[in-house]
Structure 1
Amino acid sequence: MFDAQIRPMIDPVLNAQGRVLARLGFTANQITLIGLGLGLLACGLIAVEKTLWALLPLLFSRLADGLDGAVARARGGTDFGGYLDITCDFLFYGAVPFAFVVADPAANGLAGAFLLLSFYVNGTSFLGFALLADRHGLKSAARGKKALYFTGGLLEGTETIAFLVLLCLLPQAFAPMAWVFGGLCFLTAASRVLLAWRSFQDKGQ
């Protein structure tokens, strides 16, 4: 919901740092994989109930997720880079609720399964819309220059990162927060389906 408002503030900083990293010889794909490694480290710490310790690698992983695009803009991006980025993002976001389930299956299992289901549906609505947007030649830079078409929604990157931070700060509240956030993910997916229906429905159907 807030990504389009925040991007103009953070993009100049990210782009400056991206140019520095590019001059040092880093590639966008390397930054993507470093970010994934940090994210999975955070998930490992969550799984052994060291959630406060998980905050630092989690936040640095999300910083890397912003910097890989900045490095790509400095060096020249590739389609594979965009593919790798979204694949690593989905792996990380799915690994977080899984880690909380591992930490306490009895308390977190059902809510974690619901949250993962909502991520699955929300991710499908996002990628499906991006595929059709590309077919129809739609472009958008409201959330930064991306390899895929990024639709807006009730929940975007900013809200998801804030949610993950709250989970690490309040792990005992995982189950109620997961039910609420999962429900909002379903609402976000439904809004994308409605937008797709309005944007891509063939005449006469």
Structure 2
Amino acid sequence: MLDTHCRKYIQPIIGYGAEFFIKCKLSANQVTVLALILGVSSGIFSYMNMPFIALGVLWISGYLDAVDGTIARRQGSTDFGTVMDITFDRIVEISIIIGLSLRHPELTAYFLFLACSIIITMTIFLTTGLMTSKKSEKSFYYQAGLAERTEGFLMFSLMIIFGTYLKIIVLVFTGMILFTAAQRFLEAKQLLSK
């Protein structure tokens, strides 16, 4: 939801980052890899109970994830770059889920439900993008929803910082993702039943 409605307000800041990396002669794919490394380290720092470092590298990773898309749109995106971007986003999410789950083994079942909800909504998202001929500013059809990337980062941030309320935060986040899955499923029915 925030990605869809607020991107235009923060795009100038993302643009500055894109200009910086273009001047440094880094490609969109190279920035994507850098975002992956930082994002995965967030899961490691979460496991090591270093929440503020985990939080910092998570958000830098998220910023770079937005910057790489802007670089790709300026220099020409590639299909493989899109595959890298979507795959690496999931790897970052998995690393945080694993890191927190290992840190809080009593909540492993809750993290499992969270991971399953992400699988469901991403399956709908990717399949709809494949099946529809509509395009967005990205290289594939983008389905908006309640829980997009920024909401995910906000919820992961709460999970990293507020360990005392971790179970509640994970349950709320799982509910948000399942609600998003329902939104995307209904939109897919409308788009693909014509």
Normalising by structure 2, we get a TM-score of 0.94
Determine if contact 1:47/1:103 at 8 Å carries over to the other structure: yes
- Give the deviation of 1:7 after TM superposition: 1.0
Residues 31-76 of structure 1 deviation map (CA, whole Å, 9 limit, x = unaligned): 0010000011110011122222211111111011011112212322
Conserved? CA contact 2:121–2:180, under 8 Å: yes
Q: Which amino acid letter does the alignment assign opposite residue 128 of structure 1? A: T
Q: CA deviation at 1:195?
A: 1.1
1:71-150 to 2 correspondence within 5 Å?
Answer: 71-106=71-106, 108-133=107-132, 137-140=133-136, 145-150=137-142
Runs of 5+ unmatched residues, structure 1: none
1:109 is paired with a residue of what secondary structure?
helix
8 A Cα contact 2:32 2:64, kept in partner: yes
Identity of aligned residues (%): 29
> 2:8: which partner in 1?
8
Query: Runs ≥4 in structure 1, deviation > 3 angstroms?
Result: none
1:190 Cα deviation after fit: 1.2
Q: 1:22 touches 1:75 (CA, 8 Å); kept in 2?
A: no
Superposed, 1:32-43 pairs within 5 Å as 32-43=32-43
Deviation, structure 1 residue 23? 2.3
Shift of residue 4, structure 1, vs aligned partner = 2.1
Assess if the C-alpha contact under 8 Å between 2:44 and 2:95 holds in 1: no
8 Å Cα contact 1:22-1:74 kept in structure 2: no
The residue that corresponds to 2:67 in the other structure is 67
2: CA distance between counterparts of 1:52 and 1:17? 23
Report how many residues are paired: 194
TM-score, structure 1 normalization: 0.89
